[in-house]
Structure 1
């Protein structure tokens, strides 16, 4: 019961942090004007953008299915797709829980060991992180004159000022507490999982080795490229939904996808708040007012959350009713 209470408090705190960032992003802005811009948006382009994002989810299921096949587990496309959508749905409530949730769906539907599934998920996520880092590097190289001011003024100076204002004894204390917590956690896990460790290690290694055993690595990489291409196109297409962003080009969409990618790494439900601030800031670099960037970010974030709520709920319903029929 204590563990459940601690877990609940942790997620509540993360949600409050997200809401706090959202409040700070909108603080001092003309919220009425932002809302008016959202209400008058051209929702044809919003729906079109959502369809493109959905295609990225389909490619993600196909890519994940390939990893299972490489380690001799026959997982159907529909089970992989439903698991992906249910995972996204779970992430809206509990950040990072969706990765475990979708592995659980595959475990129940296809009898794949949980840790083998987790290994495949970590493998594909590593490729996503690699793509994000490559795109960020490309943004820094090819648009250095645009991004450098933001990195120096907004990120570097802000962090430097905060670090200087901290008491170094507090910093040392926090580092020591962190190392102590890591040491205790490792000791506890080794003691608790000693008997199961070998089986867990074998399953994880099987999942991690899924990419090396792929027979068609170019297709896997093509799916990975396609996922991020669709994310990029969804950002670009959504520019046409409101007048203030309709004149922005491919460069702004490229920056927006990089900034949004880092925003979604934050352990906050659905990236709420962090996504809005990061995407809004990315568009400021291209001459857009921050309030207009917030309006755009709110539209695209809300449309993607609605898409996940609808399709994720349908996938959950299908999986539950299928289980009952069997």
Structure 2
């Protein structure tokens, strides 16, 4: 896959936006105090948190493999596992590039058509979005007074101010331009529809149908539940790493999980900056200082990055060297 200068600049800008948010999050904070908390952390709990996250990745590979099996592709577990981890590694360099990276690994190792794989990945992501939105609604329902106050002060008021400052004539013009561009694209595709495009559409449709063709939907749902449980467990175990967060309970971990998951949706490499700010804001709701929340978020995010860098590099090595011993296990 080749990248134009325009694409490179776009990703570079996104990276600097993430760094900018990280700078704003730490600006004015007691950096020496944050560093002292990080140095005093009990890293056995950090390791336990990282292991919980790794188990979630294993379950994601098992779940993804089920989607392939439903559309009659016999894909080995270790191939899907390597693809998932390499995808996360690729996301550290370029936001959302990991989804293409995952499919490329499966194309190389199992010869599954690219667009069939992309269809399964989109299906998987849609399911995760449903889980995330459901979790967000559950968080609001269970802790309405706590979370609604934050949403009103931090999100609604800021959004209302920005909307009031908009030039509605400019906004209307932009909307018309978007409609024209979409109409032109639809017209162009309908006129230029050829066999190659039809094959792409057929591949995507095959991937999209993977969930409906599952023979064991309860197992798929169990894997999905397991993935999100171990994400939650990773957040909860990390609380014990530093004294200031060790007293926080399951509600705080659940809220931090929801906030951090929305942060990871942002098109920024590895969620840098956005993750730190959102997790720290979540913990402020539980009477922690923003500084202490940043210390926790930094420890958690750093451990997540480290595990992806280590495991991603190992998976990349196995895939590139074509290790028969590891890769051919089904």
Q: Is 1:43 aligned to 2:43, yes or no?
A: yes
Separation in 1 of the partners of 2:201 and 2:32? 55
What is the alpha-carbon distance in structure 2 between the residues aligned to residue 230 and residue 292 of structure 1? 23
Structure 2 vs 1, CA of residues 136 and 47 (structure 1 numbering), >3 Å: closer, same or farther? same
Alignment of 1:59 onto 2:48: no
CA distance in 1, matches of 2:222, 2:121: 17
Is residue 204 of structure 1 aligned with residue 201 of structure 2? no
Q: Relative to 1, partners in 2 of residues 1:165 and 1:150: Cα closer, same or farther, differing over 3 Å?
A: same
Q: What residue number does 1:145 align with? A: 145
User: How far off its partner does 1:323 sit?
Assistant: 7.1
What is the match of residue 297 of structure 1?
Answer: 297
The aligned residue for residue 81 of structure 1 is: 81
Query: Who is 1:103 aligned against?
Result: 103
CA RMSD of aligned residues (A): 2.0
Q: Which residue of the partner structure matches residue 231 of structure 1?
A: 231
Find the counterpart in structure 1 of residue 272 from structure 2: 272
The residue that corresponds to 1:167 in the other structure is 167
Q: Distance in 1 between matches of 2:162 and 2:96?
A: 28
Give me the whole-angstrom Cα distance separating, in 1, the residues matched to 2:247 and 2:69.
44
Cα offset for 1:15? 0.6
Higher mean C-alpha deviation, range 26-35 or range 161-170: 161-170
Could you tell me how far 1:65 is from its partner in structure 2? 0.7
Distance 1:297 1:181, change over 3 A: farther
What's the offset of the Cα at 1:145? 0.8
Structure 1 stretches of 4+ with a deviation exceeding 4 A read 183-193, 323-326
Q: Deviations over 1:3-25 (max 9, x none)?
A: 61011011011111111111111
Q: In the alignment, which residue of structure 1 is the partner of 2:15?
A: 15
**Alpha-carbon deviation of 1:183?**
4.3
TM-fit CA distance, 1:175:
2.9
Q: What residue is the counterpart of 1:213 in the other structure?
A: 213
The Cα shift of 1:108 comes to 1.0
Q: Distance in 2 between matches of 1:73 and 1:235?
A: 35
1:197 to partner: Cα distance: 1.7
- Cα distance in 2 for partners of 1:139, 1:162 equals 26
Q: Deviations over 1:268-299 (max 9, x none)?
A: 10011111111110111111101111111111
Q: CA 1:233–1:266 in structure 2 vs 1: closer, same or farther (change >3 Å)?
A: same
> Closer, same or farther in 2 for the Cα pair 1:46/1:323, shift >3 Å?
closer
| TM-score normalised by the chain length of structure 2 | 0.94
User: Structure 2: any 5+ residue segments left out of the alignment?
Assistant: none
Secondary structure (helix, strand or coil) at the match of 2:195 reads coil
Q: Which segment is superposed worse, 3-12 or 218-227? A: 3-12
Residue matched to 1:120: 120
Distance in structure 2 (CA, Å) of the matches to 1:314 and 1:266: 27
Name the structure 1 match of 2:246: 246
Cα distance, 1:38 vs structure 2: 0.9
Q: Which has the larger displacement, 288-297 or 168-177?
A: 168-177
CA distance in 2, matches of 1:30, 1:228: 33
CA distance in 2, matches of 1:313, 1:20: 28
Matches within 5 A, 1:125-136: 125-136=125-136
| In structure 1, C-alpha distance between the alignment counterparts of 2:193 and 2:324, rounded to whole Å | 33
Superposed CA deviations along residues 218-273 of structure 1, whole A, max 9, x for unmatched, are 00000000000000000000001111111111000000000011001111100111
Aligned partners of 1:99 and 1:247: how far apart in 2?
37
Aligned partners of 1:261, 1:99: CA distance in 2, in Å? Answer: 17
TM-score (ref. length: structure 1)? 0.95
Following superposition, the deviation at residue 187 of structure 1 comes to 5.2
Q: Please give the secondary structure, in 2, of the residue aligned with 1:241.
A: coil
